[in-house]
Amino acid sequence: MAKGSNIVFFCNECGYESRKWLGQCPSCKAWNTFVEEKVNTSSKSKIVSGISKSTVTTLKEVTNEDGERINTGFDELDRVLGGGIVVGSLTLVGGDPGIGKSTLLLQVCRNLANAGLRVLYISGEESLRQIKIRADRLGETNDNLKVLCDTDLSNIESVLKDEKPEFVIIDSIQTMYKEEVGSAPGSVGQVRESTNVLMQLAKGLNIPIVIVGHVTKEGVVAGPRVLEHMVDTVLYFEGDRHESYRVLRSVKNRFGATNEIGVFEMRNDGLREVLNPSAFMLEGRPVDAAGTVVACAMEGTRPLLVEVQALVCNTNFSMPKRTAAGMDYNRVNLLLAVLDKRAGLSISDCDAYVNIAGGMKLNEPGLDLAVAISLVSSFKNKPVASDTIVFGEIGLIGEVRSVTQDKARILEAKKLGFNRVILPEISYKTLCKDCKDINKEYGLTFIPIGNVSEITRSDIFA
């Protein structure tokens, strides 16, 4: 072993460092997360110059004015970011291979360059020719967009100080390396140190930097978990390879709300915004078919209408089969048990399949009532009227509980031409307090439900 080199073990989850391998991490208590890394102890990491010294101040002297933001040219992306990219921020974008991360960010670079900003796209995975081919497919660009193919952070730091760009893309963080670390690019130590250097560059030079991160087979960003803690914003680009739409989801945002989503459609000339995702998701849905219900879920501040499909049939095995696509499998089992116990339906002895049409993945409690009604509709082979939307949460006692932002859900349904709303009884009473005639106020027919035993009522089904 070379002089000054040493072997240490890092935890993949939290970045904890140990001289020996441990089965359980003492810091985050995760099991079997330690990986071996070779580090160079003969030289110390240099702190990027340009960051002003911090001073102690009182909280009253701190202003709460919003920082300067840059519009990306995509309203959907600006919504997820909380109004645009904050100057000096560090943003992490993760997603499956081929999902469209590089395509989206190159389109953002083109929009900003056309708006007059100096943009630098740094790629460690693709050649200049490959980037040029993609750029020609997406549209014309001007001289404000510059490209660099390099993986050495020392060279990248020099280029940033010389060029002084106003927006930077790093594609991807797993290909970057710092010579002082000594381990291979993509290792735990390199990813952690590279992110630290980029964070100092973003804060010190006041440049917004967006880094692309690969994901593991579990769907999380590869590398130490501390990577997501260091950055200001974490975005996940999701989607089904067999579907044309893509969903950009915010899971961390120091400058705005989390759980916001932006919907895009992949085309031959790049990604296009879906300004009305509810109508996009409901295209081609069957009419007057048993086992299908339109539900209204909330993704951040946005109401989203999706089609919930269920299929209930007699089982051919000793143990009934359960399948859930697009929502929590355990939640479906819970709803089946509640229907069996509280609604008196012998549905637990049947195979049950639940699907959110279009490949959407939702975990909102407001989908409970829609899933329950679709299961009953399939079980009794009675369709629900196609102009009906449903929302509400179901408890273990069988009660139908209220959900957040019920007015926003109702207005979204009205905008898309729905005439009937099945909602929790407590939400209906709250709405009735605000107006004398709720049906006239909204122009809709409301069907309140207080318990799952009322799901079998005749006025629910067509």
- Does the annotation list 270 as a binding residue? no
- Partners of 267 in the β-ladder: 270
- Does the annotation list 95 as a binding residue? yes
Query: Which two three-digit tokens encode residue 2?
Result: 């070379």
- Residue 384 gets the label, from left (phi > 0), alpha (psi -120 to 50) or beta, of beta
Low-confidence ranges of the chain (pLDDT < 70): 1-5, 39-54, 64-67, 217-219, 222-224
Q: Residue 274 carries which side chain, given as an amino acid letter?
A: V
Task: Count the helices and strands in the chain (H runs, E runs).
Answer: 12, 23
Specify whether the CB–CB gap between 318 and 394 falls below 8 A: no
- Does the annotation list 392 as a binding residue? no
Query: pLDDT at position 43, please?
Result: 46
For residue 140, give every residue at least 6 positions away whose Cβ sits within 8 Å of its Cβ, in sequence order, or none: none
- Does the annotation list 99 as a binding residue? yes
Query: pLDDT at position 48, please?
Result: 53
DSSP state of 378: H
- Does the annotation list 219 as a binding residue? no
Q: How far is CA 74 from CA 83, 108, 264, in A?
A: 10, 8, 10
- Partners of 168 in the β-ladder: 120, 209
Residue 102: closest CA among 80, 79, 76, 132: 132
For residue 73, give every residue at least 6 positions away whose Cβ sits within 8 Å of its Cβ, in sequence order, or none: 107, 108, 111, 112, 114, 115
Q: How far is CA 194 from the centre of its chain?
A: 24
Query: pLDDT at position 239, please?
Result: 82
- Does the annotation list 100 as a binding residue? yes
- Does the annotation list 326 as a binding residue? no
Q: How far is CA 369 from the centre of its chain?
A: 24
Query: pLDDT at position 111, please?
Result: 94
- Does the annotation list 223 as a binding residue? no
Q: Which fold has domain 69-275?
A: Rossmann fold (3.40.50)
In CATH, what is the architecture of 280-454?
Answer: 2-Layer Sandwich (3.30)
Q: Residue 402 carries which side chain, given as an amino acid letter?
A: S
Q: Residue 255 carries which side chain, given as an amino acid letter?
A: F
pTM: 0.79
Residue 47: closest CA among 156, 179, 224, 193: 193
For residue 160, give every residue at least 6 positions away whose Cβ sits within 8 Å of its Cβ, in sequence order, or none: 120, 168, 201, 205, 207
Output the CA torsion sign for 43, 48, 53, 56: negative
Alpha helices in 206-276 (DSSP H): 226-230
Q: Tokens 């645009």 appear where?
A: 84
CA distance 444 to 197: 56
pLDDT digits (tens, 9 = 90+) for 447-458: 999 999 999 888
Domain regions of the chain by residue span: 5-40, 69-275, 280-454
User: Prior bond to 427 cis, omega within 30?
Assistant: no
CA distance 13 to 26: 11
Q: What are phi and psi of 377, to 5 degrees?
A: -60, -45
